[in-house]
Amino acid sequence: MEDIVVSFGRVLRRLRLEKEMSQERLALVAGVQRNTVVSLELGQKQPTLRTIAQLANALDMPVSELLRLVEKDLNT
């Protein structure tokens, strides 16, 4: 099984691109630093629950949906 942090990053990047958002824009809307988004997308940093909630909100989706997509990615 692949690392969940890597899967989270892959899903985050895919969702961000689907919303046609730059890393900077996502960070601004989510209230996090741009380097946080970069590190998360690269699988270099593990997100906190607060950061997951902020990113899900910025992507206009429930936290449960974001985590479901990460779980789906892990299992493929």
- Determine if residue 31 is left, alpha or beta; phi over 0 gives left, psi from -120 to 50 gives alpha, anything else beta: left
Residue type present at position 27: A
* pLDDT tens for each residue of the chain, 76 residues long: 469 999 999 999 999 999 999 999 999 999 999 999 999 999 999 999 999 999 999 999 999 999 999 999 999 8
Range of the domain at 37: 4-74
- Number of domains observed in the structure of the chain: 1
The helix or strand, by DSSP H or E, that contains position 48, with its residue range, turns out to be none
Task: For residue 42, give the CATH number of its domain.
Answer: 1.10.260.40
The pTM for the full model equals 0.94
Residue indicated by tokens 């892959």: 10
